[in-house]
Amino acid sequence: MTENRAYMQKFAMHFGTYMGVFWILKFALFPLGFKIPFLMILFFCLTMAVPFMGYFYVKSYREKICGGSISFSHACIFTIFMYLFASLLASVAHYVYFAFIDNGYVIETYTAMLNQLFDTNPVMGADKELFMEALDELRAMNPINITLQLLSSDVMFCSILAIPTALFVMKRAKSKPIENGNEMPS
């Protein structure tokens, strides 16, 4: 079992690195999407592809490392580890972006979009103060706080996502027939 845990950590880091690089490239589309709407659509489509990538990586781990069978708990822990390593790698890029590149661009763009929405839609005028308070709280956050907030939300959502992924990936070992005709699990 110790050898199995070492393999699990090694391959969770391996696939988590691939996933993290994907998340970094995907995140680069987010601020650009405010200027070019197609990139924002591409960002959301790539975000929807994350669970399918996770499924593919866990299935590859099951087939190549686990010999074609994996328990639910093993698959769930592997998936959580993989997403955790991806989240840690993406957090480095988030910090670099918000500390050195952003300079308040995302918050100011959201503020301008909300002001335009409230000006063109008078029905939502009652909610304007609530949204502006939320944006003021975001504006007061430093890059470390923003990065930690994104990291914690990534870990939470991906931990929840690990459960259905593990359910789809788990596969019991095939039982071996014995001489008297009864099957015995391997």
Q: Is residue 18 part of a domain?
A: yes
Query: Which residues have CB under 8 Å from 61's CB, separation 6+?
Result: 11, 15, 70, 78
Q: Nearest-CA neighbor of 81 among 148, 14, 149, 23?
A: 14
Residue 180 in any domain: the answer is no
Give me the pLDDT at residue 2, please.
46
Which residue in 40, 93, 70 sits closest to 166, CA to CA? 70
Counting the structural domains of the chain, the total is 1
The counts of H helices and E strands in the chain are 6, 2
Task: Read off the pLDDT of each residue in 66-75 and give the average, rounded to a whole number.
Answer: 92
Please indicate, yes or no, if residue 89 is contained in any of the structural domains.
yes
Q: Is residue 184 part of a domain?
A: no
E runs forming strands in the chain: 176-177, 183-184
* pLDDT tens digits along 99-129: 999 998 998 898 888 778 778 877 766 677 7
On the question of pLDDT at 181 being above 70, the answer is no
**Would residue 179 count as lying in a domain?**
no
Domain-embedded: residue 36: yes
pLDDT in tens, 1-27: 445 667 899 999 999 999 999 999 999
Among 43, 83, 44, CA closest to 164 = 83
pLDDT in tens, 159-168: 999 999 999 9
- 107 belongs to a structural domain: yes
Distance (Å) of CA 137 to CA 107, 112, 142, 145:
10, 16, 10, 11
φ, ψ for residue 68, nearest 5 deg: 90, 0
Segments forming the whole domain that contains residue 135:
2-172
Residues 6+ apart with CB under 8 A from 165: 51, 54, 55, 58, 75, 76, 79
Is residue 22 assigned to a domain? yes
